[in-house]
Amino acid sequence: MRTPHALIFDMDGLLLDTELHYKRSWTQAAKEMGFDLTDDLYLQLIGITVADAEDVLAKEFGAGFDKAKFHDRAAFLYEELHKKEGLPLKPGVRELLIWAKENNVPCAVGTSTVQEEAIRRLKHHEIFEYFVVVIGGDMVKRGKPNPDIFLMAQGELNLTADNCLILEDAHSGLLAARAGGMRSCLVPDLLPASDESRRIAEGVFESLHHVREWLALGCPVEEKTRS
């Protein structure tokens, strides 16, 4: 495989270590409303937009589930966790972005998070400057696993789909990449790589450190999994 002309990153769970905060805040908000958001149910929400995730919960919990109330309470609890415990970068983020800049590989973000919030978080960690464009879930009609977010990022990069490599932590993102005709790699976060994920992704990696090493080697097929 050839080295890609551009990298498109997911954000939550890949660049930023957000998923545990989301899980804790969403589980607590549901509990306060009298609902049990199990681990198995939460895993179904990873990688999709907040609006789509809330629709999944409404379908699961029934008519008594107040989406607006849940949304506001979960957002409040999330921000409290963020203030108290911080929101660290995932291992290897800065090193990979520096490598991409030094090798003239443009980078973009394609995230289910709304654009304004995504930009705020990237600026907080002083990595916003590395990205040509940030596409948020509020900018498209269809979230992942539809390809719209990545296709918009690809258009802004002015490259063909097959020249873009999608970096994801969730299976839904891999499906979105495939639907858009793009290559993809997986760095699993809360949810381990499934057999289908391994078939779709060019590589499954323990961290972005390993992604950088793989890219520097020219994306060898024989090193599909690195840890």
Give per-residue pLDDT as tens, 125-167. Answer: 999 999 999 999 999 999 999 999 999 999 999 999 999 999 9
Residues taking part in catalysis? 10
- The encoded tokens of residue 31 equal 């509990």
Q: Which of 161, 208, 204 is nearest to 185 (CA)?
A: 204
Tell me yes or no: is domain 6-16+88-226 CATH 1.20.1250.20. Answer: no
Cis peptide before 145 (omega within 30 of 0): yes
Handedness of CA 14, 16, 20, 22 (dihedral sign): negative
Residue 227 has pLDDT above 60, yes or no: no
Strands 6-9 and 107-110: parallel
Give per-residue pLDDT as tens, 169-226. Answer: 999 999 999 999 999 999 999 888 999 999 999 999 999 999 999 999 999 985 555 5
pTM for this predicted structure = 0.86
CA 171 – CA 194 distance, rounded (Å): 8
- The encoded tokens of residue 4 equal 């890609």
Q: What is the DSSP letter of 116?
A: H
Give per-residue pLDDT as tens, 66-95. Answer: 999 999 999 999 989 888 888 899 999 999
- The encoded tokens of residue 54 equal 């809330």
Average pLDDT over the chain, rounded to an integer: 93
Domain chopping of the chain, boundaries: 6-16+88-226, 19-85
